[in-house]
Structures are given as C-alpha cells and as structure tokens.
Copies of this chain bind each other. A is one copy, B any other.
C-alpha cells in the first residue's frame, strides 16, 4: 500500500503569488467559489502508514504541516514527527527552502543528488540542520533502493531516481555557460516511488522540459503519475503581463498543444494522470475554465493541497 498526500500543488510562489494579479491569483484572493489557495509543490508518501517521507521541502512547509493532520506529532512524545526524511528532486528554492523549517532536534534523512548537496553545503544557512540529527545522503541515479530512516531502519518505501530533460535551478544559472545556463545531467530528476511489500508504485515528475522516447517507455502503463503541470501554454506568463520567460525557458512542458503533456501521455495507458506544480497563471486552476474542462476530458486531474490518494 502507498498513501500519497499532496502538501502543495502549485509551482514557485504558490497560488496566489504574493505580488501577482493573474486571473487565478485574484480569484483565489477573492475566495471565488471552487478556488482555494495552493502552496508550493511537495508531496508526502508512506508505505507503512506511520513513516512518511517528503518529496521536496517547499518554503510553505510550516503551514503544510499545520494544515495536514497526518503530519502532526504523536502526542505521546515531547518532540516527534511522522516525517522521517526528505527526498529532493532539484535545487529550486521552492523545493529546498522548507529544509529551514525542519530544525529543532528531529532525526531526519535527506536524500539528494550530489549537485544539490553541494549547493546546500555551500549555503551555510542550511547549517541549522544539526548533523547530530540530520543525515545528508546521496541519492543514486537509476538504482532502486529503500529509503532508510536516520536510525537505519527501513521505511518500506523504495525509490528509483532518473534524469529527465530540465534546467538548472534559477538561482544557480550561469549566463557565461551558454544557452543552457550550466545545466547538467541530474539537475532535474523524476522518481519512481514504490511500496516494498506489494510493489505498488507511481511516478513523481514535478518538472520536465520535454517528453523523450526513453521517458515515455519508462512511464507507460503505470497506475499513476504526478506530472509537471506548470503552464497551459508556453507564452502564458508574457501573455498575462506577469513575466517574460516561456515555459521552455523555465524547463517546463505545456499542458496543451502538439508538444504538450496531454498529447505526450495520451496513448501511454496510464490510469491516473494528475497535474502538480501548477503555476498561478494556469487557467486549469479555475474550476469553471474551458481549460479545466479540456484537461479533465483528456483524463487528467488537477491536484489540490490536502489531496489524498491511496494505491
């Protein structure tokens, strides 16, 4: 068995974004019926009902823990958390800043690619994670392994990380390194997340710049995927006057269009297709929009904060 809890379903900045007046940001701030705030993307998963791992640690982690009872401490201890550790899929601020919330003497295992660990190490602010309590572990690529708690006990969660087309984190971009800004393999990864006991599994790919033959071969015929839902169309930010960058410039596929994720996953026979990491400019966040209707007609769900899925 696998329990998946969506802690945050939005892209960087959440929805609404603090200084943004996109249609979605306004509707959420005005509490329009059917809308709700979405925090920055992160999921929690357990395979045994008690030990949870976070996949990415968003800047909103404090409120995400408060708003989801599953993340509350067991009252039998003065300090406790059901969170055993964190797996990072890249070094984006909206995926790592939540580590700063996980201070206060709690055993944790933090798995990340060596490139992500090296930037965490270079940034001394992450020293708030006391090494007496927090173990920083390498996340190997293309290798299936069980996530272990800080004390070495198994979690019954087995993961496999693999590289997907993407982009280096914005704050690590190096313009001197040409049009990919210094992006290397491993800067963006996807995950297969499995239950050790019954082999249930799903894919978690919150950022993906392009569908490749290798990737579609890997994910086809799976039970469930949580996939990059950032933008409806490539020039969405500019068309709404809230930015210049295209989806491709940021390392994300569109939902729509010939090169979009709806088209790319259409024939892959995936039972549950769920968009996550959705930008506050994306009209699929409005329940009454045409775009929401289209993604639903194409068999996609739009994730929301607090969504629970059992496999």
The proximity string for A residues 84-112 relative to B, scoring 1 for CB distances below 8 Å and 0 otherwise, is 00000000010011001111111000000
CA distance A135 to B152 in the complex (A): 46
A83 — which chain B residues lie within 8 A by C-beta?
A: 19
The proximity string for A residues 223-263 relative to B, scoring 1 for CB distances below 8 Å and 0 otherwise, is 00000000000000000111100000000000000000000
13 further interface pairs, Cβ-Cβ under 8 Å (given A18-B101, A22-B78): A13-B104, A14-B62, A18-B62, A19-B79, A19-B106, A20-B73, A20-B79, A21-B73, A21-B77, A78-B241, A93-B103, A122-B124, A123-B125
A170 — which chain B residues lie within 8 A by C-beta?
A: 128
CB of A285, distance to nearest CB on chain B (Å): 15
A124 — which chain B residues lie within 8 A by C-beta?
A: 119, 122-123, 171-172
Mind listing 11 A-B residue pairs with CB under 8 Å? A14-B62, A18-B62, A19-B73, A21-B73, A79-B241, A79-B242, A97-B125, A104-B243, A122-B124, A123-B124, A124-B172
Asked whether, in the complex, the Cβ of B75 is within 8 Å of the Cβ of A26, the reply is yes
Q: Is A127 in contact with chain B by the CB < 8 A criterion?
A: yes
Q: Is A59 in contact with chain B by the CB < 8 A criterion?
A: yes
A78 — which chain B residues lie within 8 A by C-beta?
A: 20-22, 240-242
> In the complex, which residue of chain B has the Cβ closest to the Cβ of A81?
B19
Q: Is A206 in contact with chain B by the CB < 8 A criterion?
A: no
Contact A19/B80 with A39-B62, A59-B101 known, Cβ cut-off 8 Å: yes
Q: Is A17 in contact with chain B by the CB < 8 A criterion?
A: yes
Of A20, A125, A241, which is in contact with the most chain B CB atoms at under 10 Å from its CB? A125
Q: Is A190 in contact with chain B by the CB < 8 A criterion?
A: no
Q: Is A1 in contact with chain B by the CB < 8 A criterion?
A: no
A24-79, CB < 8 A from B? 26, 29, 37, 39-40, 59-63, 65-66, 71-73, 75, 77-79
Q: Is A283 in contact with chain B by the CB < 8 A criterion?
A: no
A18 — which chain B residues lie within 8 A by C-beta?
A: 61-62, 65-66, 71, 73, 81, 101-102, 104
Q: Is A16 in contact with chain B by the CB < 8 A criterion?
A: yes
Instruction: Please name the 3 residue pairs, one residue from A and one from B, whose CB atoms are nearest each other, closest first.
Output: A78-B241, A19-B81, A123-B123
A102 — which chain B residues lie within 8 A by C-beta?
A: 18
CA distance A282 to B148 in the complex (A): 35
Asked whether, in the complex, the Cβ of B65 is within 8 Å of the Cβ of A63, the reply is no
> In the complex, which residue of chain B has the Cβ closest to the Cβ of A16?
B66
A71 — which chain B residues lie within 8 A by C-beta?
A: 18
Asked whether, in the complex, the Cβ of B62 is within 8 Å of the Cβ of A103, the reply is no
CB of A247, distance to nearest CB on chain B (Å): 16
Asked whether, in the complex, the Cβ of B17 is within 8 Å of the Cβ of A104, the reply is yes
CA distance A21 to B20 in the complex (A): 37
A100 — which chain B residues lie within 8 A by C-beta?
A: 59, 93, 97
CB of A226, distance to nearest CB on chain B (Å): 22
A75 — which chain B residues lie within 8 A by C-beta?
A: 21, 26
Of A62, A72, A170, which is in contact with the most chain B CB atoms at under 10 Å from its CB? A62
CA distance A148 to B81 in the complex (A): 44
